[in-house]
């Protein structure tokens, strides 16, 4: 092999190595250059100007969150939204950053869940963040590892792996402010119960230091299951939350109504009426003040709950509306009389 040929081969090798290094560098730069860039430019600095958020899915579930003067409202219910959950969504969207480029081929979007939600089998959710001057629209697809998710800006072909993980609920009831009441057991002095079926009764205690509630109205011959049988009733309005809400309506004809009135040592009275429809429990709430110290609290409660029927979990419904029989030991079972025959019956 001549020196000239060796030199030529050596030069070609150098060129190939340099070309490979350049391609690798371009590929790495192309993949990594997007890391850390903002997915929705301008949103973070405009969060205070956002007036509406619209979340939609392919199955036509949709939630609309509208900014009012002092709070946000779930449009489909006309009820206050969960401000903490909404604030987190906005902050996460504003700080959303790309981690890595993914497919820009439309037929592959479904693998990541970032296809357009107008497609019947789409699994992702579209979020439109609307302000007077601009709208940001994003499709949020599958989550990856609890920290990242796949996204695609609407009208962009490029899909991305992005962080932080965006959790999107398109069901309006999941955006409702869940809190109804929070009356601690330590405050409750008396509860009057009138179940939908069965006799009414009252439980009470004279002072906060009294551990157990006394039950009035026990039928003759019946006894409580224990001294603490009625104690759980005192916490029935503690951290009470909704599962859904609707405008107050009259119960269906023939529906049995239950009533419970809770009184506190400091002069607050809460009247709760309820009924069950198709195994779902609904309640409405009214507050009154029997003392000056509770006047402001009663007014604040009524301003929030008046005009609404609340759907609550079944177990909470059963805690609020208890039956007297449920506090008592079962009646002894009467044994059937038997006639033992000692032999053939004599005629």
Contact (CB, 8 A) for 98 and 35: yes
Q: Is 279 left (phi over 0), alpha (psi -120 to 50) or beta?
A: left
What confidence tier does 252 reach under pLDDT thresholds 50, 70, 90? confident
What confidence tier does 28 reach under pLDDT thresholds 50, 70, 90? very low
Mean pLDDT is lowest, of 57-71, 82-96, 234-248, 322-336, for 322-336
Each residue's pLDDT tens digit, 157-200: 999 999 999 999 999 999 999 999 999 999 999 999 999 998 99
What confidence tier does 331 reach under pLDDT thresholds 50, 70, 90? confident
Instruction: Give the H/E segment covering residue 22.
Output: helix 3-32
Other C-beta atoms within 10 Å of 40: how many?
Answer: 21
Q: Determine the Cα–Cα distance for residues 311 and 280; give it in Å rounded to an integer.
A: 7
Judged on CB neighbours under 10 Å (0-12, 13-18, 19+), 204 is middle
Q: Determine the Cα–Cα distance for residues 247 and 294; give it in Å rounded to an integer.
A: 26
Greater model confidence, 216 or 20: 216
Mean pLDDT is lowest, of 11-20, 22-31, 160-169, 328-337, for 22-31
Other C-beta atoms within 10 Å of 27: how many?
Answer: 10
What secondary structure, in 3-state letters, does 128-139 show?
A: EEECCCCEEEEE
Q: Determine the Cα–Cα distance for residues 3 and 292; give it in Å rounded to an integer.
A: 108
Residues listed for the chain: 347
Greater model confidence, 16 or 100: 100
Q: Examine the pLDDT at 22 and tell me if it is beyond 50.
A: no
Compute the average pLDDT of residues 41-63: 97
Q: How far is CA 87 from CA 53, 82, 84, 183, in A?
A: 11, 9, 5, 27
Domain map (residue ranges) of the chain = 44-175, 179-327
Bridge partners for 260 per DSSP:
193, 272
Determine the pLDDT at residue 340: 46
Contact (CB, 8 A) for 215 and 225: no
Compute the average pLDDT of residues 265-271: 97
What confidence tier does 27 reach under pLDDT thresholds 50, 70, 90? very low
Q: Examine the pLDDT at 279 and tell me if it is beyond 90.
A: no
Each residue's pLDDT tens digit, 125-160: 999 999 999 999 999 999 998 899 999 999 999 999
Strand arrangement, sheet containing 268-277: 214-216, 201-204, 188-194, 258-264, 268-277, 280-289, 308-312, 244-247
Each residue's pLDDT tens digit, 103-126: 999 999 999 999 999 999 999 999
Q: Determine the Cα–Cα distance for residues 215 and 254; give it in Å rounded to an integer.
A: 30
Residues 6+ apart with CB under 8 A from 260: 191, 192, 193, 194, 236, 271, 272, 274, 320, 321
Instruction: Give the H/E segment covering residue 31.
Output: helix 3-32
Q: Examine the pLDDT at 46 and tell me if it is beyond 90.
A: yes
Structure tokens at 169: 């609920």
Q: Which residue has the tokens 């006799």?
A: 199
Q: Examine the pLDDT at 297 and tell me if it is beyond 80.
A: yes
Averaged pLDDT of the chain: 89
Q: Examine the pLDDT at 334 and tell me if it is beyond 80.
A: no
Q: What are phi and psi of 14, to 5 degrees?
A: -60, -45
């Amino acid at each position: 092999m001549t020196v000239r040929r060796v030199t030529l081969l050596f030069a070609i090798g150098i060129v190939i190595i340099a070309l490979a290094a350049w391609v690798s560098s371009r590929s790495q730069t192309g993949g990594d250059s997007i890391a850390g860039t903002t997915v929705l430019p301008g949103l973070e600095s405009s969060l205070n100007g956002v007036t509406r958020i619209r979340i939609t899915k392919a199955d036509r579930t949709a939630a609309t969150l509208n900014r009012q003067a002092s709070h946000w409202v779930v449009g489909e219910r006309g009820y206050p939204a969960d401000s903490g959950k909404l604030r987190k969504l906005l902050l996460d969207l504003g700080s959303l950053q790309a981690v890595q480029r993914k497919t820009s081929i439309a037929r592959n979007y479904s693998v990541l869940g970032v296809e357009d939600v107008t497609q019947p089998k789409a699994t992702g959710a579209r979020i439109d963040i609307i302000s007077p001057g601009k709208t940001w629209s994003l499709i949020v697809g599958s989550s990856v590892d609890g920290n990242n998710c796949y996204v695609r800006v609407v009208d962009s072909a490029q899909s991305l792996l992005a962080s932080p993980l965006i959790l999107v609920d398109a069901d309006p009831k999941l955006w409702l402010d869940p809190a109804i009441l929070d009356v601690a057991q330590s405050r409750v002095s008396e509860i009057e119960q009138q179940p939908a079926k069965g006799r009414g009764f009252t439980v009470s205690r004279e002072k906060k230091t009294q551990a157990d509630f006394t039950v009035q109205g026990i039928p003759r011959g019946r006894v409580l299951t224990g001294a603490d049988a009625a104690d759980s009733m005192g916490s029935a309005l503690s951290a009470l939350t909704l599962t859904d809400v609707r405008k107050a309506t009259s119960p269906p004809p023939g529906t049995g109504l239950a009533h419970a009135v809770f009184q506190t040592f400091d002069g607050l009275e809460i009247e709760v009426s309820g009924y069950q429809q198709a195994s779902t429990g609904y309640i409405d709430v009214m507050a009154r003040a029997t003392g000056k110290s509770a006047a402001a609290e009663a007014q604040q409660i009524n301003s929030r709950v008046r005009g609404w029927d609340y759907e609550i979990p079944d177990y909470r419904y059963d805690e609020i509306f208890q039956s007297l029989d449920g506090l008592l030991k079962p009646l002894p079972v009467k044994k059937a009389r038997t006639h033992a025959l000692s032999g053939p019956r004599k005629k």
